[in-house]
A and B are shown apart, each in its own frame.
Chain A
Amino acid sequence: MNLKLKDIVPQLITVIAVVLIFGFFTYNAQINMENRGIDFGYGFLSQESSFDVQFSLIEYDGSHSYFRAYLVGLLNTILVSVIGIIIATILGVIVGVARLSPNYLINKFAAFYVEFFRNIPLLLQIFFWYFAALRALPLPQDAEAIFGVFFLTIKGLYVPAFIWQNFSIFFYSLVAAVIAIIVIRIHAKKVQENQGKQIPVFFISLGLIFILPLLSFLIGGVKLSFEVPVLKQLATTSFIYEGGVSLPPELIALTLSLSLYTATFIAECVRAGIQGVGKGQKEAAASIGLTPNQVLKLVIMPQALRIIIPPTTNQYLNLTKNSSLAAAIAYPDLVLVFAGTALMQTGKAIEIVSITMFTYLTLSISISILMNWYNKRIAIQEK
């Protein structure tokens, strides 16, 4: 009995303390809201928001609801995060491998890059790209065309838009190609295990993924045309590009700084992972006659990935969370659109901040679930 009491009492006290603190906060919140005449509720989400967002992936203007505004912000956040994660991963892996290169110049350059970008606050980097570097870009009328179709100007990057006809057929042909490749891979593995013959899977896959969609163009009636941005004169000194897709400078600055910053951390993870694979593995692989590329691809990487994945997941999470710094340069992400503009207009501080935090929590948790699943898949299967 005595022992039981000793177990229960500390827990009880802690729980009571936590409940008391929360109760205290809620009580105060209620009184404060009553005094200021604010009522609690999420009903405002369906009301008409009357502000505009300058960049959105879905159709949006002031007549849509606050919920729609929330979606716009969320999609923008996801867009930045996804682009950032892809670029950061590619750059991070390259730099991480480069840091282990025997070539002095490559090695030192990678080390310098990592040490430099890692030790400067991300916000400062964002400001730098947005306010200093991108401001040096040419005005629309002076812009040089890159490959004749891209235009990089102070108002953003203009890329040609795709205009599809019968897009669904193209899409299905792509899906069919992917399925066919998976089937061939499984088949090739079986053949190799049974007969020892190697089928050039890579070239077959490459062929498939090009030929099937190409067929859809020739037979299926899929048509693709580009809409190239065209320079237009609004006034004597004011020019603008019309048509095509325009990426605002905020997006460019944000993705650039996020990926450059996160890539340094990923590079360190990759380096640690590769160094974590025993030297004997590399030598053994070399001694059975694998080429350096094969050594890296078949022996080192599969083992290193197990070490690399968990810390890299953390970096992905960090990148997603850091994308909220967008608010500083007015890129309309979740924080700016919802916790900024919508909050100013409705004054519903508790509801909006709680929704925003909950959204980020969900995003973080879903990324970590995804990566945990991938991690489990590549982990050592103990028989």
Chain B
Amino acid sequence: MRRFMYGMYPNAEQWRINLSFISLVLLGSVGYFATDKFKKYLTLYYVVIYPLIAFLFIFFFISGGPVFFDFSYGIIAAILSIIIGFFIPGRFKFYYFLIVPLALYIILKYFLFFEEYIELGKLEGLNWVETGAWGGLSLTFIISFFCLIFCFPIGMAFALGRRSGFPLIRYISVGFIEFWRGVPLITVLFMSAVMFPMFLPEDFFIDKLVRAIIAISLFEAAYVAEVIRGGLQALPRGQYEAAKSLGMGYWKMHIFVILPQALKLVIPGIANTFLALVKDTPLIFVVGLLEIVGMLNLAKTNPEWLGFAMEGYVFAAIIFWIICYAMSKYSYNLEQKYKTDR
């Protein structure tokens, strides 16, 4: 039973996973208790701060080692740049988002925190557990959670890119979307496992769990992009024209007028994509990570389990069914909540 929940994670350390999940759930439910005064910061919180906390919890706390620092610098840089981005005048924003994150990343990596980050792993006083040992249902949750967070903004960016007025940007977005939609996830994971390391410098190492998460995120992002594009196309032209006539720029128009309406329209489609994502997580067996279905296959070879394969599969099926059914009901609720009569 423990193996199903935690995989090969050492028994004595399992409280770390539990603690992480409990705190993540607590932090995630902040939105329900927030007062109106703080409501307007909620989006910022969920889009920026919450993923960061989750990232810290899961990758630092659960793995307890200085494995992902390079990656985390990238994330910190991106987040800082978004925060600063709120104070930058609109017409420079595009250039800004391309240059500043890179600059910040370089500064962070080479000038600041250089010493501290090596200390962090030790300061926690935790043993390092490599990601290969993660597994079971908790891994299912971790992967779904991160891919869900990452694929949404990427998908949104490509959906906007596909509708962009600049032909080159449009072609690149179309190429990206059609490429990922045309290949099966399993080959994408193959690519992340055998092909991707070839594309990186020798000394640069990305953990296989992170690679898998990146691969799944990019893959699902293409689907999310198509769904969001549907929403963007469904909006009447009048909305765009009205926003423009109010003197809004591209970003303002999309953030305050177009996207809120478009996203509302595509809640069912997004929910479907996310469901597909959760159901795709078992595929990570390709890169050698074993979540609950993979653990089952392993358990089946155990003599104690002989003849109980059927029960095991039914058990896993019920768990997935509960997760997916709950998600689809929740999306239906969201749909009803944000439904506006038009």
Contacts and interface: CB of A to CB of B under 8 A. Distances in A.
B125 interface: no
B310 interface: yes
A348 B172 CA distance: 28
Interface string A125-163: 101100111011000000000000000000000000000
Given A325-B283, A343-B194, A354-B195, 18 more contacts: A25-B200, A28-B200, A28-B201, A29-B198, A31-B201, A32-B197, A120-B279, A120-B317, A123-B293, A124-B313, A124-B317, A136-B310, A324-B187, A349-B194, A353-B195, A356-B187, A361-B179, A361-B182
B279 A17 contact: no
A25 B197 CA distance: 10
Contact of A121 (B183, B279, B325): B279
A272 to B, nearest CB: 11
Contact of A350 (B195, B200, B282): B195
Nearest to A7: B166
In the A-B complex, the 10 residue pairs with the closest CB atoms? A119-B324, A321-B184, A25-B199, A324-B184, A361-B182, A121-B279, A132-B310, A11-B168, A349-B194, A128-B313
A127 B296 contact: yes
B285 interface: yes
B112 interface: no
A370 interface: no
A249 to B, nearest CB: 14
B328 interface: yes
Contacts of A127: 293, 296-297, 313
Contacts of B202: 31-32, 35
A357 interface: yes
Given A11-B166, A123-B282, A357-B191, A132 B172 contact: no
Contact of A18 (B172, B186, B280): B172
Nearest to A26: B199
Contact of A15 (B172, B195, B278): B172
Contact of B313 (A131, A350, A356): A131
B97 to A, nearest CB: 10
A124 B94 contact: no
A120 B292 CA distance: 13
A353 B190 contact: yes
Contacts of A52: none
B283 to A, nearest CB: 6
B12 to A, nearest CB: 30
Nearest to A118: B324
Interface in B272-327: 275, 278-283, 285-286, 293, 296-297, 300, 309-310, 313-314, 316-317, 320-321, 324-325
Q: How large is the interface on A (under 10, 10 to 19, 20 to 34, 35 or more residues)?
A: 35 or more
Interface residues of B, number: 50
Contacts of A353: 187, 190-191, 194-195
Nearest to A344: B194
A119 B328 contact: yes
23 contacts: A7-B166, A24-B199, A26-B199, A31-B202, A32-B199, A35-B202, A115-B325, A116-B321, A119-B279, A119-B325, A120-B317, A124-B316, A127-B313, A128-B310, A132-B313, A321-B184, A321-B185, A325-B283, A349-B194, A353-B191, A356-B190, A357-B187, A361-B182
Interface string B257-285: 00000000000000000010011111101
A324 B317 CA distance: 21
Nearest to B278: A121
A327 interface: yes
A123 B296 CA distance: 12
Given A13-B95, A360-B183, A120 B321 contact: yes
A119 B320 contact: yes
Contacts of B285: 123, 328
Contacts of A356: 187, 190
Interface of B is mostly: helix
Nearest to B94: A10
A13 B96 CA distance: 11
A231 B335 CA distance: 59
A3 B98 CA distance: 21
Q: Quick one: which of B198, B281, B316, B325 has the most chain A CB within 10 A?
A: B198
Interface of B: 94-95, 98, 166-169, 172, 179, 181-187, 190-191, 194-195, 197-202, 275, 278-283, 285-286, 293, 296-297, 300, 309-310, 313-314, 316-317, 320-321, 324-325, 328
Contacts of B166: 7, 10-11, 14
Nearest to B311: A132
A327 B186 contact: yes
Nearest to B172: A18
B254 to A, nearest CB: 15
A33 interface: yes
A260 interface: no
Nearest to A320: B184
Contacts of B278: 121
A277 to B, nearest CB: 21
Nearest to B181: A364
B163 to A, nearest CB: 15
Contacts of B282: 121, 123-124
Given A127-B296, A128-B313, A119 B280 contact: no
A360 B190 CA distance: 14
Given A10-B169, A361-B183, A119 B191 contact: no
Contacts of B167: 11
A352 to B, nearest CB: 9
A365 B321 contact: no
A122 interface: yes
Contacts of B191: 353, 357
Contacts of B199: 24-26, 28-29, 32
A26 B199 CA distance: 6
Nearest to A125: B317
Given A13-B95, A132-B310, A343-B194, A124 B320 contact: yes
A300 interface: no
Contacts of B172: 14-15, 18
Contacts of A335: 184, 186-187, 190
A205 interface: no
Interface string A80-113: 0000000000000000000000000000000000
Contacts of A125: 317
A339 interface: yes
B195 to A, nearest CB: 5
A28 B198 contact: yes
Nearest to A18: B172
A37 to B, nearest CB: 13
